[in-house]
């Protein structure tokens, strides 16, 4: 994996080195803000062997007895697994002919129409459920789990359902943990010191990812390799380069980062990245706003803004080197579209030139481009990329001076929603809010 930050002046990067040294030290020694939640830093090297083997065993069982796995979770308890599955197995994973179960993600919204569509898609097929919640109290997955648990018990009986429901939650706390203990579900633990958006390499992500037939050993081995690389302080460290470059740009007024990739299978990786950076950095009136585009599709929608809109953007392109696929442009005897000059050229070659042309155009338009290159589209390289983004995010948060591991702002909507729904104890507040909305 390589990071190209040549779009940023070396002097600007160098000026951040002393802050980076401090941030690096705080992250590795667990002495910075939010240090109770830095367990992910050493996770790929210290994973609980027994827990990991249980995850693999459960995945095998689900592959054997289910045609569908329903993953109930939201935010960090959902995006990582979906991102890895769609990137490595393709965004059409559920539509493909395969010998692993379909994986549907539920409990990540409150839409009745979404829920109805999933019910229809599951139909009368055999299914298992993996309910994931670190706090065990999040409304969206809790409401969804009530529903799917009832359906599962109706179909398989209480005892049968017990063998099909897997929970991933805190070791001791939360309503979900209590429920698991009373119902006897197989339970996987989210380590205390790993927050939701940093949890894809724990059972949170690993169980659904393994069910989809992805080699979780390779994913973790890539992450462990990058952990070794990121542990070394200095500007050779790709996470240092990236964190320094994006912070230098932010300080120069580039407050929006657009993550771009030319592979549509990357769309959910970008969603995962947006949560990671948005929730880690966006606080105390600060933070780079993370946006994402999928090229070349979005060159025909957002491309105009990127080229000529408000000059507050910089772009980070994730480039996948050694793209597979040999599809080439066919010849047309009439050449009405004038494209015969492309005959025999592979789509990968055309895509590469699209990237090179776009890079120059956007740089010329005043949008600095950082480039993160992955060696290959495989589990090993993806493990590296995941750890790289996590480590760089921790560093970046410390450079900004915030706690990158909390999310206090997420509570505001929940409180209002509960009050408006008439939660006991919130009645007065509910009346006040309703009066404001209804006037
Ligand atoms: O990163 C985070 O901590 C959050 O986005 C959580 O993942 C999200 O709110 C879901 O929380 P929980 O796993 O407690 O249901």
Per-residue model confidence as pLDDT tens digits over 166-218: 999 999 988 999 999 999 999 999 999 999 999 999 999 999 999 999 999 99
> Which residue from 78, 132, 135, 175 has its CB within 8 A of the most atoms of ligand 1, so it is best to mutate?
135
| pLDDT number for residue 326 | 82
Q: Is 279 a pocket residue for ligand 1 (Cβ < 6 Å)?
A: yes
Q: Which residues are catalytic?
A: 279, 300, 414
Strands in 369-374's sheet, in edge-to-edge order, are 2-4, 369-374, 313-320, 256-261, 289-294
Q: Is the pLDDT of residue 309 over 90?
A: yes
Least confident residue range of 263-267, 275-279, 303-307, 419-423: 419-423
Q: Is 76 a pocket residue for ligand 1 (Cβ < 6 Å)?
A: yes
CA–CA gap between residue 289 and residue 273 (Å, rounded): 11
Q: Is the pLDDT of residue 48 over 90?
A: no
231 CA from centroid of ligand 1 (Å)? 27
Q: Is 77 a pocket residue for ligand 1 (Cβ < 6 Å)?
A: yes
Closest C-alpha to 377, from 96, 97, 95, 86: 86
| pLDDT number for residue 329 | 96
**Mean pLDDT over all residues of the chain?**
96
Q: Is 44 a pocket residue for ligand 1 (Cβ < 6 Å)?
A: no
| Tens digits of residue pLDDT in 322-342 | 776 789 999 999 999 999 999
Q: Is the pLDDT of residue 71 over 80?
A: yes
> Which residue from 36, 131, 138, 188 has its CB within 8 A of the most atoms of ligand 1, so it is best to mutate?
138
CA–CA gap between residue 85 and residue 103 (Å, rounded): 9
Q: Is the pLDDT of residue 47 over 80?
A: no
Q: Is 80 a pocket residue for ligand 1 (Cβ < 6 Å)?
A: no
Task: Residue count of the chain, please give it.
Answer: 439
Q: Which residue has the higher pLDDT, 155 or 410?
A: 155
| Token digits of residue 292 | 């994402």
> In this structure, which residue's CA is closest to atom 2 in ligand 1?
196
Q: Is 107 a pocket residue for ligand 1 (Cβ < 6 Å)?
A: no
CA–CA gap between residue 321 and residue 330 (Å, rounded): 24
| pLDDT number for residue 232 | 98
In this structure, how many other beta carbons lie within 10 angstroms of the beta carbon of residue 229?
16
What is the residue whose two structure tokens read 């480590």? Answer: 391
Q: Is the pLDDT of residue 58 over 80?
A: yes
Q: Residue 139 belongs to what H/E stretch?
A: helix 139-162
192 CA from centroid of ligand 1 (Å)? 13
CA–CA gap between residue 81 and residue 71 (Å, rounded): 9
195 CA from centroid of ligand 1 (Å)? 7
| Token digits of residue 320 | 């996948």
Q: Is the pLDDT of residue 373 over 80?
A: yes
Q: Is the pLDDT of residue 75 over 90?
A: yes
- Structural contact between residues 350 and 342, judged by C-beta atoms closer than 8 angstroms: yes
Q: Is the pLDDT of residue 365 over 90?
A: yes
Residue 316, strand partner residues: 259, 370
Q: Is 205 a pocket residue for ligand 1 (Cβ < 6 Å)?
A: no
CA–CA gap between residue 126 and residue 61 (Å, rounded): 13
CA–CA gap between residue 39 and residue 37 (Å, rounded): 6
| pLDDT number for residue 46 | 75
225 CA from centroid of ligand 1 (Å)? 27
Rounded percentage of the chain residues whose pLDDT exceeds 70: 100
Q: Is 221 a pocket residue for ligand 1 (Cβ < 6 Å)?
A: no
Q: Is 135 a pocket residue for ligand 1 (Cβ < 6 Å)?
A: yes
pTM for the full predicted model: 0.97
273 CA from centroid of ligand 1 (Å)? 14
138 CA from centroid of ligand 1 (Å)? 8
Long-range Cβ pairs for the range 65-68 (8 Å, 24+): 65/126, 65/128, 65/164, 66/101, 66/126, 66/127, 66/128, 66/164, 67/101, 67/102, 67/125, 67/126, 67/127, 68/101, 68/102, 68/103, 68/104, 68/121, 68/122, 68/125, 68/126, 68/127, 68/128
| pLDDT number for residue 49 | 85
| pLDDT number for residue 136 | 85
| Tens digits of residue pLDDT in 108-139 | 999 999 999 999 999 999 999 999 999 888 99
> Which residue from 37, 144, 196 has its CB within 8 A of the most atoms of ligand 1, so it is best to mutate?
196
| pLDDT number for residue 8 | 98
């Amino acid at each position: 994996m390589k990071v190209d930050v040549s779009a940023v002046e070396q002097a600007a990067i160098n000026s951040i080195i002393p802050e980076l040294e401090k941030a690096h030290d705080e992250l590795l020694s667990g002495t910075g803000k939010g240090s109770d939640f830095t367990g992910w830093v050493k996770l790929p090297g210290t994973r609980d062997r027994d827990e990991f083997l249980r995850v693999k065993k459960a995945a095998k069982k689900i592959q054997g007895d289910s045609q569908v796995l329903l993953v109930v979770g939201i935010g960090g308890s959902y995006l990582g697994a979906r991102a890895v599955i769609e990137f490595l197995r393709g965004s059409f994973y559920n539509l493909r002919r395969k010998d692993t179960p379909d994986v549907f993600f539920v409990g990540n919204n409150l839409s009745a129409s979404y829920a109805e569509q999933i019910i229809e898609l599951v139909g009368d097929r055999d299914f298992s459920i993996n309910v994931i919640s670190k706090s065990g109290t999040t409304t969206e997955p809790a409401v969804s789990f009530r529903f799917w648990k009832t359906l599962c018990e109706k179909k398989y009986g209480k005892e049968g359902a017990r063998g099909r429901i897997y929970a991933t939650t805190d070791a001791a706390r939360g309503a979900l943990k209590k429920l698991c203990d009373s119902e006897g579900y197989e339970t996987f633990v989210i380590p205390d010191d790993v927050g939701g958006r940093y949890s894809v390499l724990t059972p949170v992500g690993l169980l659904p990812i393994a069910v989809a037939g992805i080699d979780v050993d390779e994913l973790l081995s890539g992450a462990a390799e990058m952990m070794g690389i990121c542990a070394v302080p200095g500007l050779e460290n790709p996470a240092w380069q990236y964190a320094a470059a994006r912070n230098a740009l932010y300080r120069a007024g580039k407050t929006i980062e657009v993550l771009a990739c030319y592979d549509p299978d990357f769309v959910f990786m970008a969603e995962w990245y947006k949560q990671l950076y948005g929730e880690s950095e966006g606080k105390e009136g600060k933070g780079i706003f993370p946006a994402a585009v999928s090229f070349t599709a979005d060159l025909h929608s957002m491309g105009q803004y990127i080229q000529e809109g408000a000059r507050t953007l910089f772009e980070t392109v994730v480039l996948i080197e050694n793209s597979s696929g040999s599809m080439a442009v066919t010849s047309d005897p009439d050449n009405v579209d004038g494209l015969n000059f492309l005959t025999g050229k592979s789509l990968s070659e055309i895509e590469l030139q699209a990237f090179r042309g776009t890079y120059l155009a956007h740089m010329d338009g005043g949008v600095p481009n950082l480039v993160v290159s992955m060696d290959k589209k495989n589990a090993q390289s993806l493990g590296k990329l995941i750890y790289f983004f996590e480590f760089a995010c921790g560093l970046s948060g410390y450079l900004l001076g915030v706690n990158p591991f909390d999310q206090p702002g997420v509570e505001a909507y929940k409180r209002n929603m509960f009050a408006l729904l008439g939660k006991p104890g919130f009645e007065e507040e509910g009346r006040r809010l309703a009066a404001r909305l209804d006037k």
